[in-house]
Amino acid sequence: MATKAPTASNATLEAMFSAGAHLGYNRSRRHPSVSTYIFGTKNRVELIDIEKTHELLEKAKQFVSDIAAQRGQILFITSKKEAEDIIRSAARAVDMPYVIGRWIGGTFTNYPQIRKRIERLVDLSTQREKGELAKYTKKERLMIDREITKLEKMFGGIVTMKDMPKAIFVIDPRREAITVHEAQGMGIPVIALAGSDCDISLIGYPVVANDASVKSIKYFTDEIVAAYKAGSLKAPAK
């Protein structure tokens, strides 16, 4: 029998409210799949029922905790400018891989080739750190530096991802539709902070809340990080 999510405390609801988690978009933008999470409208902005959001969050956190207990990896992803620093810091806080900015198509479906590009980045970076590029001409070193910069931008956040992640965490699955579709095609569960304009029908662990404001994004991302840290305490010793 499924475990019922704990009831949100007043302090929790106040924290979510303070973060603006209850703010959706205009009704005209609402996706039908989130209808049951909307309880009203104010100044033409739909209001999300954060008690229901809390239930979704608890389910997502339990899933994250279970992954952490098995030392599994979660790939953190965003292409939203307002979420970049938050996601980068969050992923690094739990030593998880991350993708900031444009998703490279085939990262999952053609991973062996992507891994070769990552290994190229690691190899060149290691050579540069050890001073082994001195054997090349100045022009050649300049070209290598440019290649490292390009590869770092594309793959720097997933160097530690040796295999498929156990799940992905995305901000705004509507914006990250290509990424979500690729993950789903590979059977990788999706955890998503989803605004009222998102289709959550195929998302394994949606958290319906404001996915546009920095405060809301940070609140929910911090909750996911906390859940991973808590779960990792149960992980078997290496």
pLDDT tens by residue, 212-230: 999 999 999 999 999 999 9
73: three-class secondary structure by DSSP: coil
Instruction: Kindly give the confidence (pLDDT) of every residue in the chain, 238 residues in length, as a single tens digit, with 9 standing for 90 and above.
Output: 445 556 777 889 999 999 999 999 988 899 999 999 999 988 889 999 999 999 999 999 999 999 999 999 999 999 999 999 999 999 999 999 999 998 999 999 999 999 999 999 999 999 888 888 888 889 998 999 999 999 999 999 999 998 999 999 999 999 999 999 999 999 999 999 999 999 999 899 999 999 999 999 999 999 999 999 999 999 887 6
Number of domains in the chain: 2
Same domain, 198 and 132: no
Over residues 106-117, the pLDDT tens digits come to: 999 999 999 999
Structural domain contains residue 11: no
Q: Based on the domain organization, do 60 and 176 belong to the same domain?
A: yes
CB < 8 Å & 24+ apart, contacts of 133-141? none
H or E stretch covering 103: none
Q: How far apart are CA 92 and CA 69, in angstroms?
A: 18
Question: Within this chain, do residues 49 and 150 fall inside the same structural domain, yes or no?
Answer: no
Same domain for 73 and 97, yes or no, is yes
- The helix-helix angle for 10-18 and 214-232 (nearest 10°) equals 140
What residues make up the domain containing 135?
111-158
Contacts of 18 (CB under 8 A, 6+ apart): 215
With 0-12 CB in 10 A as exposed, 13-18 as middle and 19+ as buried, what is 225? buried
How far is C-alpha 207 from the chain's CA centre?
12
Same-domain status, 214 and 147? no
35, 117: one domain:
no
As a dihedral over the C-alpha atoms of residue 16, residue 22, residue 52, residue 15, rounded to 10 degrees, the angle is: 10
Compute the Cα dihedral for 53, 56, 62, 63 and give only its sign.
negative
Residue 126 belongs to a domain with what CATH number? 1.10.287.610
In a domain, 7, yes or no: no
0.85 surpassed by pTM: yes
CA dist 229 and 148 (Å) reads 32
